């Protein structure tokens, strides 16, 4: 009995371990010669799905899931040191982690769970003998005599790598997103005389027109190649160069067409990518950067005058009687009647990405002829007309974003619109009036209008009543919110509303906590569509009713900007309040900046500073309603892949306080980033955010908290001994408590900028670059709000379009006061006891609350612990 049980256990152990043995496969090196070979991600899970490595181990063939999401797996070649996917087979048809790659004598193929072949090579004249991954990253099928049957280099996706040729007539096609590799709308192609970026067939960039490109001959192009010293368009063979662009030589570079439509050229240095070029160099030149008819200006999206944001994305005419036509059978009847077509002006100095690359449909015509041309053409959706030249450009089939033209243009743009209720000839074309009622209403006789209005109102009334009687307040826990609930249906543009149960399921009952913000705990979750989200549970909702909550949500939900975290939805059930945001996989800036991870390179810091500035500029001036963040700090600056920057927690200040703005009584900011006016009676304005931004900028420069305690670590001192490089002299400064903003002011006065840079950069930055950020930061923290720059100015200064301001020392003297207080306080409290920050904040948070009003100013320098307010 005992022995048989024992042997059963042995058998079971053996059985399970033998399963394990068969499951994890060996990593092949150089080539696979075993035919009838199969691999799945699951089988190679120990190697993250990699089953074949190049001899030099730099490239790997793998079945991978970008960003470790769970649904989309791709058979890919990756550049192992950076994890960059340089080629993938089944980009339009992802498989699951048990889908397979199969190598037989006939083909290399990718097979999904149900055995369907989703990708395969075509038939070859001889049999396959091996699959080889060469040292340059080319995946090759070889026959028995080692001649190539098929190569990944000849079937590029969105990337070409050093040495790879992109022949004339072939293209790179962008991916839809970082996790969905299916083909997007942007294409880079090599033509017989140039390299072009296109969107829906329309050119938006040409290599030959780049400033740094030189045209060496007019021979026809044969292929494009990056070879370590440059990007070349070669003619018949390597001895004929048609166009070339020199790059800093390095071992590995790639050219990649990103999902956002920009072609980048990057070098891999150390363990990081360094971007040499991103084209088009003017961001607003990207066709769909602000969605349909979105107006791109200095990287900020808004809508042209007379248009507003549509919930479906992009901009639509603000007048609800006007709609954008679509040219297809169902709508043609609508459009046939000429009289219902009109044109809305896009405003002055607005241009279109393709105008510079396109021939006009007609030259020397007046505007009405140009409009006539467009009217006759069902697929024409808009036009640009040059006033002096009479050039008429028609926008056919697709409408992209429009851009504000800084240099000014003589062209005026018009969007074709359909006027509903077209009883009469439209006589209000090109109106820019924004208020309601608008153009359309002028077009119909007053009596008809009144009748119409009555009908519309009656209709709405009936619909609401009907809807209410059906829904009632059945969904509500207590009856107390029913009036708020009923109002919900009249809010437009509300983000998705979730049930509590849906969020509980998405977060597996609030299992994984990923953060603790000012408003409560944040959990990671996965929605049924597999998208990752951050679910923020709002703790102290106070006396807020559901209606006010929803009003705010509707406002926040409408704000879309590349540098702002997107609100995907919310939940308001009973007293529960949740906000559902897109998930940012790299966490917040404080972690990247202050913790002991890889050091952020200067360019990365600069990009983060710029992204943050853009996001704030948008909040302050880009949306319909000015939004003051009130709590700008590294914890609220989130990072995504490629260090994409997004600001979180904006617009929430109103959720907590009944007041209409962030008021002193409900102190919302975070010490260390609080502008002096928080503590005086000066009004809070967008300049309050500018101050906090300046403080954050200084921390980005330094890589440490502004009021950090001296470094106790010996690592720094030991590493950089007594050499006379700048980093060792700065670490000398760290032996006393440093109020960094004051140090920045002092060093600015002496012009010793380099000493302010993060010592961990070990000199990998120039004095000019540090000076730029430090001067911008000091201008931002002027005590007098009026002389701080606006966030749009800051964006301009960082981008170089606005001269960097000269800090006004008389408005920065308060830093000396703060600095002195800081030094005294740290002496008395016995600095040097491990983590000064925590020590500080615990000691002072109580004091702060009770004495904030009278002992003003003295606490604005405090460390960045959150003020315990109504959170
Ligand atoms: C691979 O499978 C095919 C069909 O199943 C078989 O004919 C062939 O002999 C196999 N080749 C090897 C090398 O096992
Ligand atoms: C093909 O290449 C492999 C590895 O380089 C080598 O071992 C083999 O002998 C070659 N075969 C022929 C026919 O050249
Ligand atoms: C052109 O090259 C110069 C120097 O190599 C560089 O500073 C500049 O940024 C380049 N311009 C563009 C548009 O890439
Ligand atoms: C790249 O190609 C150009 C033109 O053929 C040549 O002058 C240059 O030396 C090449 N660079 C490398 C690193 O091979
Ligand atoms: C390039 O083509 C020319 C003319 O056909 C020939 O003379 C030259 O040898 C070729 N060069 C290379 C590197 O193939
Ligand atoms: C570049 O390649 C050379 C030789 O292949 C190697 O010695 C050097 O370490 C490489 N540099 C980097 C930064 O990878
Ligand atoms: C026709 O236009 C409508 C509205 O834009 C669109 O939903 C539909 O897909 C279009 N149909 C075709 C065949 O393009
Ligand atoms: C076209 O407009 C005329 C008046 O101009 C109107 O009588 C007619 O009903 C309209 N037709 C359609 C299909 O809307
Ligand atoms: C539309 O306009 C064209 C030319 O302007 C005219 O020939 C045609 O009859 C008009 N169609 C209708 C339905 O009014
Ligand atoms: C359009 O309005 C103008 C005055 O604004 C008037 O002169 C013209 O006759 C009107 N046209 C039509 C077709 O009603």
Task: Say if residue 537 carries a ligand binding annotation.
Answer: yes
Threshold 0.75, pTM exceeds: no
Site to probe by mutation for ligand 8, drawn from 323, 333, 336, 339 as the one with most ligand atoms within 8 Å of Cβ, is 339
Residue 523 has pLDDT above 60, yes or no: yes
Residue with the smallest CA separation from ligand 10 atom 10 is: 427
**Could you tell me whether strands 496-497 and 567-573 are parallel, antiparallel, or unpaired per DSSP bridges?**
parallel
Cα of 51 to ligand 2 centre, how many Å? 21
| Cβ-Cβ contacts under 8 Å for 252 (sequence gap 6 or more) | 58, 79, 161, 162, 267, 268
Q: How far is the C-alpha of 364 from the C-alpha of 362, rounded, in Å?
A: 7
Query: Which contiguous run of DSSP H or E holds residue 814?
Result: helix 814-828
Determine whether 276 is an active site residue.
no
Top mean pLDDT of 215-229, 338-352, 671-685, 724-738 is at 215-229
Helices (H) and strands (E) in the chain, counts: 19, 45
Nearest ligand to residue 209 Cα: 3
pLDDT of residue 167: 93
- Judged by phi (left if over 0) then psi (alpha if -120 to 50, else beta), residue 547 lies in alpha
Residue with the smallest CA separation from ligand 5 atom 2 is: 237
Q: Is the CB of 338 under 6 A from ligand 9?
A: yes
pLDDT in tens, 734-770: 456 788 999 999 999 999 999 999 999 988 999 999 9
- Report, as an integer, the average pLDDT of 473-482: 28
Residue with the smallest CA separation from ligand 10 atom 6 is: 427
Top mean pLDDT of 125-134, 448-457, 496-505, 543-552 is at 125-134
Name the token pair of 738.
């440093």
Residue 73 bridge partners (DSSP): 95
Helix or strand or coil: residue 811?
helix
Helix or strand or coil: residue 783?
coil
- Starting at the edge strand found earlier in the chain, the sheet holding 171-175 runs 171-175, 183-190, 195-199, 202-206
Cβ atoms of 316 and 324 within 8 Å: the answer is: yes
Q: How many CB atoms lie within 10 A of CB 853?
A: 12
Binding-site residues, ligand 1, Cβ < 6 A: 35-36, 104
From 112, 631, 689, 758, the catalytic residue: 631
- Report, as an integer, the average pLDDT of 318-347: 70
Residue 601 has pLDDT above 50, yes or no: yes
pLDDT of residue 229: 85
Band of the pLDDT at 713, cuts 50, 70, 90? very low
pLDDT of residue 24: 59
Q: What mean pLDDT value characterizes the chain?
A: 77
pLDDT of residue 766: 92
Q: How far is the C-alpha of 169 from the C-alpha of 543, rounded, in Å?
A: 64
Name the token pair of 761.
């950069």
Cβ atoms of 767 and 736 within 8 Å: the answer is: no
- Report, as an integer, the average pLDDT of 803-830: 81
Q: How far is the C-alpha of 627 from the C-alpha of 488, rounded, in Å?
A: 23
In percent, the amount of the chain with pLDDT more than 90 equals: 40
Which of 35-49, 245-259, 445-459 is predicted with the least confidence, judged by mean pLDDT?
Answer: 445-459
Q: How far is the C-alpha of 134 from the C-alpha of 598, rounded, in Å?
A: 30
Nearest ligand to residue 236 Cα: 5
Closest CA to 346 of 311, 315, 390: 315
Name the token pair of 482.
């029913």
- Report, as an integer, the average pLDDT of 360-383: 91
pLDDT in tens, 238-296: 888 999 988 877 778 899 999 999 999 998 888 888 888 889 988 899 999 999 999 99
Query: Which contiguous run of DSSP H or E holds residue 4?
Result: helix 2-23
Q: Is the CB of 235 under 6 A from ligand 5?
A: no
Q: How far is the C-alpha of 491 from the C-alpha of 495, rounded, in Å?
A: 10
Band of the pLDDT at 669, cuts 50, 70, 90? low
Residue 852 has pLDDT above 50, yes or no: no
Top mean pLDDT of 241-250, 350-359, 451-460 is at 350-359
Domains of the chain by range and CATH? 23-155 (2.90.10.10), 286-425 (no CATH), 473-583 (3.30.200.20)
- Helix, strand, coil content of the chain in percent (nearest 5): 30, 25, 45
Query: Which contiguous run of DSSP H or E holds residue 517?
Result: strand 513-517
């Amino acid at each position: 009995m005992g022995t048989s049980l024992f042997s059963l256990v042995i058998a079971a152990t053996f059985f399970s371990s033998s399963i394990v043995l068969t499951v994890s496969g060996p990593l092949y090196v150089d080539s696979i010669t075993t035919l009838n070979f199969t691999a799945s991600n699951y089988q190679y899970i120990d190697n993250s799905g990699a089953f074949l490595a190049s001899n030099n181990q730099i490239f790997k063939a793998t079945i991978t899931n970008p960003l470790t999401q769970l649904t989309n797996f791709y058979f890919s070649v990756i550049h192992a040191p950076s994890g960059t996917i340089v080629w993938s087979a089944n980009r339009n048809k992802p498989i699951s982690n048990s889908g397979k790659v199969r190598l037989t004598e006939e083909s290399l193929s990718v097979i999904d769970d149900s055995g369907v072949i989703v990708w395969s090579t075509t038939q070859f004249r001889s049999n396959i003998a091996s699959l080889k991954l060469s040292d340059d990253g080319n995946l090759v099928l070889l026959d028995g005599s080692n001649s190539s049957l098929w190569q990944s280099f000849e079937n590029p996706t969105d990337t070409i790598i050093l040495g790879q040729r992109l022949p004339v007539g072939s293209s790179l096609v962008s991916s839809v997103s970082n996790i969905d590799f299916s083909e997007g709308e942007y294409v880079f192609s090599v033509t017989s005389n140039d390299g072009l970026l296109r969107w829906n067939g329309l050119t938006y960039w040409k290599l030959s027109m780049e400033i740094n490109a030189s045209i060496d001959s007019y021979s026809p192009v044969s292929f494009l190649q990056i070879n370590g010293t440059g990007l070349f368009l070669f003619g018949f063979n390597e001895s004929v160069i048609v166009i070339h662009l020199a790059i800093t030589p390095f071992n590995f570079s790639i050219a990649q067409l990103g999902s956002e439509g920009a072609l980048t050229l990057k070098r891999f240095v150390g363990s990081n990518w360094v971007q040499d070029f991103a084209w088009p160099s003017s961001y607003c030149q990207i066709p769909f950067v602000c969605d349909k008819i979105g107006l791109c200006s200095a990287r900020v999206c808004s809508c042209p005058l007379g248009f507003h944001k549509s919930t479906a994305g992009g901009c639509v005419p603000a007048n609800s009687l006007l709609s954008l036509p679509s040219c297809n059978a169902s709508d043609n009847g609508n459009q046939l009647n000429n009289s219902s077509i009109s044109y809305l002006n896009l405003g002055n100095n607005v241009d279109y990405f393709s105008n510079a690359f396109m021939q006009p449909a007609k030259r020397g015509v007046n505007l009405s002829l140009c409009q006539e041309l467009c009217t006759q053409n069902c697929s024409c959706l808009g036009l640009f007309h040059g006033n002096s030249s009479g050039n008429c450009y028609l926008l056919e089939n697709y409408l992209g974003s429009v851009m504000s033209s800084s240099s000014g243009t003589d062209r005026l743009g018009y969007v074709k619109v359909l006027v509903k209720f077209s009883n009469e000839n439209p006589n209000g074309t090109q109106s820019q009036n924004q208020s309601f009622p608008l153009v359309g209403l002028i077009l119909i006789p007053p009596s008809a209008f009144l009748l119409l209005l009555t009908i519309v109102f009656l209709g709405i009334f009936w619909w609401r009543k009907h809807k209410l009687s059906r829904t009632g307040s059945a969904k509500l826990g207590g009856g107390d919110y029913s009036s708020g609930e009923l109002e919900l249906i009249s809010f437009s543009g509300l983000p998705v509303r979730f049930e509590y149960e849906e969020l509980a399921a998405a977060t597996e009952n609030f299992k994984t906590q990923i953060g603790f913000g000012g408003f409560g705990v944040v959990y990671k979750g996965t929605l049924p569509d597999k998208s990752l989200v951050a679910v923020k549970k709002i703790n102290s909702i106070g006396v807020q009713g559901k209606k006010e909550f929803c009003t705010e949500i509707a406002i926040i939900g409408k704000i879309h900007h590349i540098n702002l975290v997107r609100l995907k939805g919310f939940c308001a059930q009973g007293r529960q309040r949740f906000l559902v945001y897109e998930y940012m996989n790299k966490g917040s800036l404080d972690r990247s900046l202050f913790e002991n991870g890889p050091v952020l390179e200067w360019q990365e810091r600069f990009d983060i500073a710029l992204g943050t500035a853009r996001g704030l500029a948008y909040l302050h001036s880009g949306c319909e309603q000015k939004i003051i963040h009130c709590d700008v700090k590294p914890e609220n600056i989130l990072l995504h892949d490629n260090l994409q920057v997004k600001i979180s927690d904006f617009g929430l200040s109103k959720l907590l306080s009944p007041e209409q703005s962030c008021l002193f009584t409900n102190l919302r900011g975070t010490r260390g980033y609080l502008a002096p006016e928080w503590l005086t009676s000066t009004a809070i304005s967008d300049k309050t955010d500018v101050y906090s931004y300046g403080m954050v900028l200084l921390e980005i420069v330094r890589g440490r908290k502004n009021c950090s305690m001296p470094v106790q670590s010996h690592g720094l001192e030991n590493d950089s001994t007594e050499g006379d490089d700048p980093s060792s002299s700065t670490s000398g400064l760290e032996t006393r408590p440093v109020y960094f903003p004051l140090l920045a002011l002092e060093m600015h006065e002496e012009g010793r900028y380099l000493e302010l840079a993060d010592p961990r950069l070990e000199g990998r930055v120039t004095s000019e670059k540090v000076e730029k950020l430090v001067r911008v930061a000091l201008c931002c923290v002027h005590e007098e709000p009026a002389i701080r720059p606006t966030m749009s100015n800051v964006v301009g200064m960082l981008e170089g379009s606005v001269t960097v301001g000269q800090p006004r020392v008389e408005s920065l003297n308060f830093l000396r006061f703060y600095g002195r207080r800081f030094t005294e306080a740290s002496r008395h409290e016995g600095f040097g006891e491990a983590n000064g920050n925590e020590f500080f904040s615990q000691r002072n948070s109580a004091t702060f609350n009770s004495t904030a009003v009278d002992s003003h100013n003295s606490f604005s320098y405090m460390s960045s612990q959150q003020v315990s307010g109504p959170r």
